[in-house]
Amino acid sequence: MNNFFKILNPALLIKAFGNSLNGLALAVKSERAFQQELIVMVVGVVAAIMLTDQSVERAVLIGSLAIVLVVELINSAIEATIDRIGPEQNPLSKRAKDLGSAAVLVSLISAVAVWLIILV
């Protein structure tokens, strides 16, 4: 039972939450793609509310945009890690960055498909 309370330690939870907010703030301040997708998210939330009258449809539309933001954050983390390793050209570094970028593209295409399916 003692381990259970260690896992739910409020101080650690607050620290983890703070780290997450720091990461989010960093993305908003310094990641151009994230900034653009965040604008699309804000506009998308307003559009989802205005264009649909069912909560499930709104949730799916907004959720599809949120997934894009999540994937972009993961891609940014991959890119930062690769950049940390070193500036020299390496086929594996290029592969990692290209795969992260591809993940963002797939999430964007999926979001567009969801919006088209629901609204058209």
Q: Based on the residue annotation, tell me whether 57 is a catalytic residue of this protein.
A: no
Contact 82, 96 (CB under 8 A): yes
Supply angle C-alpha 120, 110, 55, rounded to 5: 55
Task: List the catalytic residue out of 31, 37, 57, 72.
Answer: 72
- C-alpha closest to that of 118 among 61, 66, 44: 61
Residues designated catalytic = 72
